[in-house]
Amino acid sequence: MKKSLILFLSVFSFFSCFTAAQENPKKVYTFKIDNNIDPAMNRRVKMAMEEAEKLESELIVIEMDTYGGAVTDADEIRTRILESKIPVYVFINKDAASAGALISIACDSIYMAPGASIGAATVVNGVDGAAAPDKYQSYMRSMMRSTAEAKGRDPKIAEAMVDEKIEIEGISEAGSVITFSVSEAIKYGFCEGEYGSLEEILQANGYNDTELITYQEDSVDKIISFFLSPAISGVLILIIIGGIYFELQTPGVGFPLLAAIIATLLYFIPYYLNGLADNWEILVFVIGVILLAVELFIIPGFGIFGVLGIVMILGGLVLGMLPNQDFNFDFVPASQLFGALLTVILAALGSVGLVFWLTPKVNEWGAFRTITLATTQDRAQGYTSSLYSQELKGKIGTVHSRLRPSGKVEIEGEIYDAYSRGEFLEQGEKIVVISTEGTSLRVKKSEA
């Protein structure tokens, strides 16, 4: 009886576990690295891996197809993978070159599609594709070596993927860096197998009954991608420059300034979230605006502050679009640098053209007339400007401080700013007010 009960419980436990497994399939999370390794890709990997942890996935699979990119971003992705509590596989379905090779080696298992390759991790600059200085190569070699050691792969081969001077007998010759085909990668321990699809890899590793979750951009990411478009950035720059100009020309109106502030936020926030715009680059832009305002409102004329302000405004806008490290542009692709400069310059020229075209038309808008003076008030029509009452005209007073030809006069115990018709009048002399228009009384020597 006791044996029968034990047998029954064992069978029941087996079927219970089987049923639970059927009801709760293993979660496998997958995302793609299918473009340049840059701040945007770094952010994608971060978001994807955080989501995989929240969903309690049992496995993360990266679909890899990249020629590389920024070393700093690749290092952050590599570190994130090495520290992951969830096993990470990579499926190289075409290329894992340069920074892509570093990220792949950091994964727990590497799988490759027919015709794929891994290697060629020499660091190159972004201008002409030439090899970067040795300090960058040394940094990349050390990362490749330590990453390979952490995952039980040959560190010497990993270094030889970076440095063409390293020669490994039977594998590479001096003067060429290592790039493995699928069969070579399998032979030397840099690939666990050749498979044609992600599904084949999962089946080979016992993930037959899985819930495959693919990373999808959320609404925030889509909005950020929209505002990162060069065309949209150009429009925002046009609004920023145009808004600043109109607000400086008509201070106090508010709407141009509000439009410029909103456009500035929409311009910089997406680049900031993607790791392109740093705090100091935004500060450069803000200081440029301040310098321009100082030049226009405080310092007469237009000199060094105005020119420096314009340069800093345009410089801040350009720098915010580029993945430079501080002021180092060694690894900024020439096409990206040219695109940023072209976008800002064309938008600036467009805003200047818009200002010249729009300024004469603004006064014709009914809504604008309610907040600004859109007509000329001629003296012939009786319009005058006066700070003082007309009753002061003809009053007799004395010079309080010498008029040379301007100074102060005293009339009936009150002190007023005044100026003569060109004559110098000494303190104590009698004067008579001949005009009250403007901000100073116009006086002459009294003959009485």
In tens, the pLDDT along 423-447 reads: 888 888 999 998 887 778 889 988 8
Supply the pLDDT for residue 191: 96
Q: What is the mean pLDDT of residues 211-233?
A: 83
Q: What is the mean pLDDT of residues 168-191?
A: 89
Higher pLDDT, 374 or 422: 422
Name the least confident of 12-21, 176-185, 377-386: 12-21
Question: Mean pLDDT in the chain?
Answer: 82
The CATH class of 21-216 is alpha beta
Judge whether 21-216 and 379-445 match in fold. no
Specify the amino acid at residue 324. N
Contacts of 367 (CB under 8 A, 6+ apart): none
**C-alpha triplet 155, 161, 165: angle, nearest 5°:** 95
pTM of the full structure: 0.65
Residues paired with 27 in a beta bridge: 211
Three-state DSSP at 235 gives: helix
* The three-state (H, E, C) secondary structure of 6-34, written as one string: HHHHHHHHHHHHHHHHHHCCEEEEEEEEC
Q: What is the mean pLDDT of residues 385-397?
A: 78
Q: Where are the domains of the chain?
A: 21-216, 220-369, 379-445
Supply the pLDDT for residue 410: 92
Supply the pLDDT for residue 72: 83
Strands 117-119 and 430-435: unpaired
Measure the CA–CA gap between 175 and 81, rounded to whole angstroms: 31
Other Cβ atoms within 10 Å of 318 Cβ, number = 21
Strand intervals (E) in 113-178: 117-119
Q: What is the mean pLDDT of residues 322-349?
A: 79
CATH architecture for segment(s) 379-445: Beta Barrel (2.40)
Among candidates 103, 25, 38, 27, which has minimal Cα distance to 64? 103
**C-alpha triplet 419, 421, 425: angle, nearest 5°:** 65
Supply the pLDDT for residue 385: 52
Residue 330 has pLDDT above 80, yes or no: no
Confidence of residue 19 (pLDDT cuts 50, 70, 90): very low
Residue 185 has pLDDT above 60, yes or no: yes
Supply the pLDDT for residue 397: 92
